[in-house]
Amino acid sequence: MAAAARRHQQEQILASKAAGIRLAEDEDTSGVLLGDAVATYLDDIRKTKKRKTWAAYQSALSYFLDSCGKARVSEVDRSDLLQFSAFLRDTRKLQPRTVYNKFEAIMSFLKTNGVRGLVGKNDWPRYVEDEPEIYEREDLKKFFASCNEDERLWFEFFLMTGLREQEVMYCTWFEVNLTRGVVTVRYKPEFGFSPKAYKGREVPIPDKLVQSLKRRKVAVDTAACALLFPTSGCRPKLDFLDACKAIAKRAKLNAEQFYLHKFRATFATWALWSGVDLRTVQQWMGHSDLESTLRYLKPNRGAAVRDKVNTIFADWE
């Protein structure tokens, strides 16, 4: 109840200021009101970031206003941040990774407002970083054997390029160079789409996929609709995930284990296992740092690895 009352008070203050009403609190120059700082910060995020990013920050800051009893940014201290973590975990029942992400958002907000050094390394929420899941080759063979021609091309494109879902959704024939065998990820204002972290990139595609795309290009009117995988009304296809799970069920596989990002993870892991260097895979994936790419350098547990181990100790007596 107290948290709701504090939040209501902050909302009333913001509404009064918007109406031009001068408040007694305005005479206090000891610091910016927390509600004001949140409103300004979210407005800046809205102008400079994607809507999804704004929504994530809005959610985190809303929770922070619920849990923090301080009126001004300058009053926030370590105990408020520790209380925020506990609030997310115990009251909101959020998963550890989500708690970490929202805590990180609040730290960015405070840093922007000149507040630093409130917590140490051990004060941050902790979570277990799960190893990225990849598809087993046998499962993929069953999956693709249950695809029709269109479905096979959709998901071979996901698997053989490592592109994110929206990157595939908004991909057009202009970004696919079948002579050079590459696909380009770029900003597309016509769809209101920009790559993650606003980084364009070029990804090579294997000859097998090039040949499949050449056959598709001959069969469609690219002048009438430039999208690579459009709907019947030349709109971006939005139901790749539903199609993926339907195919898995058709193949009598566990549909819960089939999702789009797993194709991307498989692409990255297989590339690294094949000897492609980290920097190159980082560029293909569009990662901002090598640490993100290193997550996909997971141990190879397949039969080929067992053969290598046997070769190593073949002469052992």
Q: Report which of 271, 171, 270 is spatially closest to residue 216, judged by C-alpha positions.
A: 171
Domain 2-123: CATH class, spelled out: mainly alpha
| 124-165 residue pLDDT tens | 999 887 788 999 999 999 999 999 999 999 999 999 999 999
- Whether 4 has a pLDDT exceeding 70, the answer reads no
- Mean pLDDT (whole number) for 16-20: 50
- Whether 269 has a pLDDT exceeding 90, the answer reads yes
What's the CATH number for 137-301?
1.10.443.10
- Mean pLDDT (whole number) for 287-312: 74
State how far the Cα of 207 lies from the Cα of 160, in Å rounded to an integer: 10
Q: What pLDDT does residue 153 have?
A: 98
Q: What pLDDT does residue 195 have?
A: 83
Which of left, alpha, beta for 162 (phi over 0: left; psi -120 to 50: alpha)?
left
Residue ranges of domains in the chain: 2-123, 137-301
Q: What pLDDT does residue 307 have?
A: 67
Within this chain, domains 2-123 and 137-301 share the same CATH topology: no
| 103-126 residue pLDDT tens | 999 999 999 999 999 999 999 999
- Mean pLDDT (whole number) for 40-59: 91
